[in-house]
Amino acid sequence: MTIEYTEEKRFTQDQVQALFRSVGWESANYPERLFKALQHSDTVISAWDGDHLAGLVRVLDDTEMVAYMHWVLVDPAYHGHGIGGHLVELVKAKYHDYLFLEVMPEESKNAPFYQKHGFHLMEDGRAMQIVNRG
Q: Please check whether residue 127 lies inside any domain of the structure.
A: no
- Note the pLDDT tens digit of each residue in 65-74: 999 999 999 9
Q: Please check whether residue 56 lies inside any domain of the structure.
A: yes
Q: Please check whether residue 130 lies inside any domain of the structure.
A: no
Q: Which structural domain, as residue segments, surrounds residue 11?
A: 3-117
pLDDT at 14: 98
Q: Please check whether residue 55 lies inside any domain of the structure.
A: yes
Mean pLDDT of the chain: 93
Q: Is the pTM of this model over 0.85?
A: yes
Stretches in the chain below the pLDDT threshold 70: none
* Domain tally, the chain: 1
Q: Please check whether residue 122 lies inside any domain of the structure.
A: no
pLDDT at 83: 98
Q: Please check whether residue 131 lies inside any domain of the structure.
A: no
Half-sphere exposure of 48 (CA within 13 A, CB side): 15
DSSP 8-state class, residue 89: H
pLDDT at 31: 97
Pick the closest to residue 74 from 53, 44, 59 (CA basis): 53
Whether 44 contacts 56, CB under 8 Å: yes
Question: What CATH number does the domain containing 99 carry?
Answer: 3.40.630.30
What is residue 31's three-state secondary structure? Answer: helix
